[in-house]
Structure formats: structure tokens, C-alpha cells
Amino acid sequence: MLRRIAMLSAHTSPLDQPGNGDAGGMNVYVLELSRQLAARGIEVEIFTRATSRHQPDVVDPEPGIRVHHVAAGPFEGLVKNDLPSQLCSFVRDVLRAEVEREPGHFDLVHSHYWLSGQVGTVARERWNVPLVHTMHTMAKVKNAMLAEGDAAEPMGRVYGEEEIVRLADRLIANTEEERRELIELYGADPERVAVVHPGVDIEVFRAGRQREARRLLGIPEDAALVLFAGRIQPLKAPDVVIRAAAIMLERDPSLRDRLMVAVVGGASGSGLERPSALAELSAELGVQDVVRFVPTVGQRELADWYAAASVACVPSHNESFGLVAIEAQACGTPVVAARVGGLTTAVSDGVSGILIDGHDPADYASALHPLLTDPGLREAMSHKAVRHAEGFGWDVTADRTLAVYDQAITTHREFHA
């Protein structure tokens, strides 16, 4: 019987606000999955790196969930690429958590992202338990689809991911596309790679409330609102949305009185080097009057933005899944997105949204404009978006993840019998 899981999220805490720094869809994934497991009577202990001396060593945010803030390197000033050098300290404290308990305290380790996977391979051997790993993003995929101004992932990460693929008992891919990449690019054993889609909280992200959401946010009822939500960095391509807005206004000047582009989120990654770049671009293109920058918001206010929007735009250069797209659709908002990675699963092309090949702003302008100006088209796509999103509940994600855990435990026991 599965009693207790060690969940590893080394570089970012599931308690952090998504949209700031390195916090994003993975934070939501780890927390929501943990909630579902805890609701099923499974204790989840999450290990993440402490980023402030004021954080308690241990916090219990919800029944059945315990978060350990592990001191590994300086509390502040480290970026993600600095963290590999701090993994020894992180591993030491993770292993100590087992030493201080009765043998067999954890039944399984589930690691997220390659940094946690490196820790997980050590815990797997020391604790003699199976390791399940979720990549979330992969260096080889990212390097093949780099955005202009983005830095390539280092070879150390590539080697680390290859080691995880070799040692993990099971790998969880967000989509069939990610499964194929794991097999073809990393040589993963097909029998050890399972596909489990992330989910969406359909109680928080609800449709049929555009008027209410616009009133709460102070947005005019007749606004043609394009929403970009997420971390502000080249990988996510928010500049494409702003450039597309400029093209729409050039093609249809009458839209100017109603058009609004909301960019919700904070700078991250290489975007930290030029935090004012998008504002400068807006001024350069003469669209600063229609662009509104909104700092990162909590999940419920983010749901208001999704509900208020006429259309959400996700022009990322790569996405392992694209949680923003699913959340927007759950709120009844059609999505225009890049035809990359998990977005081809998250968006039903021509049904719940429109997928675009490449990142030419003119193509995005052509896709966005009808959804902003044709109420009938938007309404039809909105209804289909809700139905599409309903197939991605977190309860389904948890059930399928538990099936993967069971397979990993069974195989591990047979191997070590």
C-alpha cells in the first residue's frame, strides 16, 4: 500500500506564486497533484530549496502535505543555472529526512525537472525505493527551438537528463509528443514512459462570467481584450503578441478604441536582463496606449483575467504542455497558440482555438482579429473550449499518476526480490 511520497522540486517551491521568477506551470502541477494525493490518504512531503532565511524549515500548508525548505547555498542571488553546484547540500538534507525516521519512511520518490531528478537518483539508491520522474522541459528540445535572445541550455543539463532517463524506474510525459522526444532524443525505454496530462482546477477556472470579471478588473464591457499570461522571457514570446496588436491596428484602425492587450506576469530567466523591453517595444510600435502590464496575480485573480479576455495568446517557442492554454479554455476563452510541444494537445486546432506555425506576428494578427471582431465565431469557439478543457481535470491526472506509481513499485519489488 502506498503510504508516503517524497516529492522533489528543488529549484522552485510549489508555494511560490506562478508567473514570478522560475515559478510557472510546474509549481501548479506539483501542488495540485500533491493535493489530490493527500485527498486519497497519501502523505506527501515536498522538498524544495529555501530562498529566504525567514522561511520555516518545515511548513504544513494543507492536511497531508508537508513542505521542507532545504538550505542549499545562499538564500538569495542564485539563478537556476547556479543551482547544480548546490545539489550536494540539497541531497544531504533530503537524505537526512529518511535517516531521522524509521526505515522505509518513503515508498516512492517523484522528482520534477532535471535538478530534482539528479537528487532523486541518489535518494532512489539510498532508500531502495522506485524513482518516478517528470521532466517538464528538456534541454535538447529547448535548444532546438531557441528564441532570439535566449541562451542555450548547458551540456551539463543534457548529461544530467540522460542519466535520469537511464536510472528512473518510470518517466511521466505530459503528452504523446513529449513521450516521443524522450524515446527518440534520450533513448528512453518505451515501456518505462507513461503519458499523463496535467490538469486544470475547474472550480477556480470557470466559464460564463466575462461581464462579472470585466467589472471586477475595471475593463470596459465592449473591450477587445487579448491576454498574455505567464513568465516574461523570450521563450514565452510575449513580444509576438504586442507586434501582432500593432499589425491589427495598422490593418483595422477602427479597432483602436476597443483593443486592449493585457500582459500578466513577471520577468524570468533571460527576461530579467531587460525587464523594460516590452514597454520599450510598445512605445516603439506606437501601441503603448492599448498595452497594459499587470504584475503576477494569484490563481483566482488570474481566472478573472482569463474570463475577462476575448482571446488568450500563447506564442511560446516551446511548451511541455501549456497549462495557460487549458486554464483559459476552462474559462471559456479561445486560444491562439504556437503549434509547438504540448500546445498541440492543450488546444484543439480549429475547435477550441487556433494553432499557428512559426512566430510571425502577422500570422497571429490574422488569427486574433476574427475572434475579436466576430462575436458569433468567438461564442462558438468559447463553448467548444470549455468542453475541451473539461477533459483535463486534476482528479484524472492523479488517478493516472497513481497507476504509474503502482507500476514503478511493482517492477522495483520484482527486480529486488
- Pick out the residues of the known binding site: 11, 17-18, 22-27, 80, 113, 137, 157, 231, 236, 297, 306, 309, 319, 327, 333
- In angstroms, the CA 415 to CA 175 distance is 28
What single letter denotes the amino acid at residue 80?
Answer: K
Q: Which amino acid is at 354?
A: I
DSSP 246-263: HHHHHH-GGGGGTEEEEE
What is the C-alpha separation between 166 and 160, in angstroms, rounded? 10
* Longest Cα separation, the chain: 73
Q: Which residues are annotated as a binding site for Mg(2+)?
A: 306, 309, 333
- Going by C-alpha positions, the residue among 120, 70, 112, 64 that lies closest to residue 90 is 70
Mark the binding-site residues for UDP-N-acetyl-alpha-D-glucosamine, compressed into ranges.
17-18, 25, 231, 236, 297, 319, 327
Q: Give the separation between CA 385 and CA 39, rounded to whole angstroms.
A: 28
The Cα 328–Cα 348 span in angstroms is 13
Q: Residues at the annotated binding site for 1D-myo-inositol 3-phosphate? A: 11, 22-27, 80, 113, 137, 157
**Contact at 8 Å (CB) between 76 and 52?**
yes
β-bridge mates for residue 353, sequence order = 335, 349
From CA 70, how far away is CA 57, in angstroms rounded?
7
- Nearest Cα neighbor of 217 from 256, 279, 260 is 260
List the Cα angle 175/80/78 in 5-degree steps.
160
The angle, 0 to 180 degrees and rounded to 10, between the axes of the packed helices 299-308 and 210-217 is: 120
